[in-house]
């Protein structure tokens, strides 16, 4: 449908809805339920150079209007992703996919990116400098403008594909980090990753999560995410992908009005495996209700009204 | 897996903290005993995974314990109320390995999934022995139901207030061809050590999605990493790696 179309770093999307990394695996579980080609694209499970088991369990804790996770980047490693997951994915997903890359050193980000760069199915590289659940990597690259800039420059040097840097909200100045990534050559910014959080079991007095802390996501974080998307979209000239607590067509529209050209949906997929399909199907009627002809025309309306 | 709406038919207390709920809806996706459903509840962000206790055409029975906000909310649901369920989750027990005299070992709310298993095994003409373990007399449930199926039932209580005093492992029959078990982890470990045949264990873990997408409930096994919700909850004795 023409009115839902958008574009991300020069690649057209049939609609702005993108399941977020870590909530959609490599697509297989969802492809058994519906034709996932209805999606704009999806961002696959955060991939590292080597295979990782991740953190001990419990890895999940419930919160009011959301959840904590401390999975810790469990993934089979980039070589297995290329050898096994991508060929399998080709049978049920025919669009360019977003490859989510994580690492523990600049070198690791570079090697993983270089390997994925050769894969025809990969449309974009989403470079995750914001995982709160791993130690000595992940988020530590995304909380310092200098480090974020170094990673961005390094991965840009080894790929021709658009590089979207995924930012952490656990910073004092999100705009400074976003600008540092833009200056270092990022083609886009996606945000927000999860907010660092914690729950304690009242019966034991100990943290619910084995990792003690975890990333908070779900509808509760939506206003925080929206504010950050708005601030970053106002400050940078590259496309912004909005995410954080998005669960409805209304949320997608609000994110786009804040300045997002596309919108990722995360935790909602875990609660309702059909969430993204439902959002896409509902978008036209919600657009009608607000007199929106095309999604392209609403991108950044909130910022324009400041002028 | 299937998502569909179910209607509560009955919801009653079996003990002070254990309830039985019968629901009507599309049960077609449920293919094996030991599978679970994941229930959406108003006011709770995540669904609640509960094992299937019984299945009869479009009727599904679950038995659950009130341990937190979600299960407390479930216990207050009335007949006629609608619930959104994901059904047919998990691998379930493999009946083909049972042999002629399978042994079922359940502890507390680990007992319910063994009920449908016992029913199916007895339908196949197997001689089923069931040992049901509880802490104390007030917590005992299910004995009648297993007896009605025609199983040979032993109840144990840790404090000896009902049935045989001790744990399920203190009441193993002299002969059995294979075993199936479900219960708290300390019990599963004891069963692992006390049994001499092969068998299958059903595990519990905090889950995010319940259908294999989030990696929230992964565990290490002899045959690699497994998701309790999707590749489990049932694991074979030979593939288990205990955490400690």
In this structure, are B113 and B129 located in the same domain?
yes
- Determine the average pLDDT of the residues in A23-49: 97
| Sign of the Cα pseudo-torsion (A29, A43, A127, A220, in order) | negative
A276 catalytic, yes or no?
A: no
Q: What is the pLDDT of residues A244-291, one digit of tens each?
A: 999 999 999 999 999 999 999 999 999 999 999 999 999 999 999 999
pLDDT value, residue A172: 94
- Is B55 among the domain residues? yes
CA distance A297 to A208: 45
| CATH class assigned to A2-304 | alpha beta
With CB atoms and an 8 Å threshold, state whether A272 touches B3.
yes
Mean pLDDT of chain B: 97
In this structure, are B164 and B128 located in the same domain?
yes
With CB atoms and an 8 Å threshold, state whether A67 touches B46.
yes
* Radius of gyration of the CA atoms of chain A, in A: 18
**Closest-CA distance of chain A to residue B33, Å:** 21
- Is B170 among the domain residues? yes
Query: Pick the catalytic residue: A131, A181, A234, A276?
Result: A131
Q: Has the ipTM of the complex gone over 0.85? A: yes
Task: Please state which of the ranges A126-135, B79-88, B137-146 shows the lowest mean pLDDT.
Answer: A126-135
What is the reported pTM?
0.95
| CATH number for the domain that contains residue B73 | 2.40.30.10
With CB atoms and an 8 Å threshold, state whether B225 touches A74.
yes
Last residue of a domain, one of B37, B63, B89: B89
In this structure, are B126 and B84 located in the same domain?
no
Residue B168: how many other CB atoms lie within 10 Å: 27
pLDDT value, residue A138: 63
Q: How far does CA B120 lie from the centroid of its chain?
A: 14
Instruction: Note down the domain range covering B28.
Output: 2-89
Strand order through the sheet with A97-101: A17-19, A262-265, A240-243, A188-191, A163-166, A122-128, A97-101
Q: What is the pLDDT of residues A70-112, one digit of tens each?
A: 999 999 999 999 999 999 999 999 999 999 999 999 999 999 9
- Determine the average pLDDT of the residues in B123-129: 97
Q: Which of residues 21-40 of B touch A (CB under 8 A)?
A: 40
pLDDT value, residue B106: 98
pLDDT-based confidence at A130, cuts 50/70/90? confident
- Determine the average pLDDT of the residues in B181-198: 96
In chain A, where does DSSP find H-type helix? 28-31, 78-80, 86-90, 106-117, 145-156, 174-183, 222-235, 249-257, 268-271, 275-289, 301-304
In this structure, are B84 and B107 located in the same domain?
no
Flag whether residue B216 sits within 8 Å of chain A, measured between CB atoms.
yes
Pick from B209, B224, B228, B231 the residue to mutate for testing the A interface (most A CBs within 10 Å): B209
Contacts of residue A219 in chain B, CB cutoff 8 Å?
45
Q: What is the pLDDT of residues A160-181, one digit of tens each?
A: 999 999 999 999 999 999 999 9
């Amino acid at each position: 449908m023409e009115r839902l179309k958008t574009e991300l770093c020069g690649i057209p999307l049939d609609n702005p809805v993108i399941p977020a990394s870590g909530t959609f695996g490599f697509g297989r579980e969802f492809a058994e339920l519906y034709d996932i080609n209805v999606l704009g694209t999806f961002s696959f499970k955060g991939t590292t150079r080597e295979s990782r088991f991740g953190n001990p369990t419990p890895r999940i804790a419930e919160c009011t209007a959301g959840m904590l996770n401390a999975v810790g980047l469990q993934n089979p490693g980039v070589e297995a992703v290329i050898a096994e997951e991508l060929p399998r994915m080709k049978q049920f997903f025919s669009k360019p996919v977003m490859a989510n890359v994580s690492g523990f050193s600049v070198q690791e980000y570079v090697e993983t990116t270089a390997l994925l760069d050769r894969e025809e199915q990969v449309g974009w590289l989403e470079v995750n400098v914001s995982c709160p659940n791993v130690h000595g990597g992940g988020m530590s690259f995304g909380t310092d403008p200098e480090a974020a800039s170094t990673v961005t420059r390094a991965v840009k040097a080894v790929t021709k594909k658009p590089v979207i840097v995924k930012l952490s909200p656990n910073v004092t100045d999100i705009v400074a980090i976003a600008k540092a990534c833009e200056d270092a050559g990022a083609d886009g910014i996606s945000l927000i990753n999860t907010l660092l959080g914690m729950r304690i079991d009242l019966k034991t007095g100990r943290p619910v999560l084995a990792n003690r802390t975890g990333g908070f996501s779900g509808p509760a974080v939506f206003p925080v995410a929206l504010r950050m998307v708005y601030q970053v979209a106002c400050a940078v000239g590259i496309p912004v992908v909005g995410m954080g607590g998005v669960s409805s067509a209304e949320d997608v529209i609000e994110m786009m009005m804040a300045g997002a050209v596309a919108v990722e949906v995360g935790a909602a997929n875990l609660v309702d495996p059909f969430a993204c399909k439902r959002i896409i199907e509902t978008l036209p009627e919600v657009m009608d209700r607000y007199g929106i002809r095309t999604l392209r025309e609403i991108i950044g309306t909130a910022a324009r009204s400041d002028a | 897996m299937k998502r569909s709406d179910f209607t509560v038919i009955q919801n009653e207390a079996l003990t002070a903290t254990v309830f039985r709920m019968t629901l009507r809806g599309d049960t077609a996706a449920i293919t094996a005993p030991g599978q679970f459903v994941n229930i959406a509840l108003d006011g709770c962000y995540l669904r609640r995974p509960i094992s299937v206790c019984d299945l009869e055409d479009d009727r599904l029975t679950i038995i659950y314990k009130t341990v937190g906000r979600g299960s407390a909310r479930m216990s207050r649901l009335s007949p006629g109320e609608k619930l959104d369920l994901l059904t047919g989750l998990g691998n379930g027990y493999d009946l083909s390995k049972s042999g002629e005299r399978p042994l079922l070992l359940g502890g507390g709310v680990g007992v319910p999934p063994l009920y449908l298993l016992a029913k199916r095994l007895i339908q196949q003409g197997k001689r089923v022995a069931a040992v049901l373990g509880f802490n104390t007399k007030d917590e005992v449930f299910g004995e009648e139901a297993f007896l009605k199926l025609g199983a040979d039932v032993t109840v144990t209580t840790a404090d000896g207030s009902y049935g045989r005093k001790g744990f399920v492992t203190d009441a193993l029959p002299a002969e059995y061809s294979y075993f199936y078990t479900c219960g708290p982890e300390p019990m599963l470990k004891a069963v692992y050590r006390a049994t001499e045949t092969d068998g299958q264990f059903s595990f519990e873990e905090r889950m995010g999605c319940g259908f294999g997408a989030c990696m929230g409930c992964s565990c290490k096994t002899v045959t690699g990493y497994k998701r309790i919700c999707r590749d489990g909850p049932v694991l074979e004795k030979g593939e288990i790696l205990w955490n400690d």
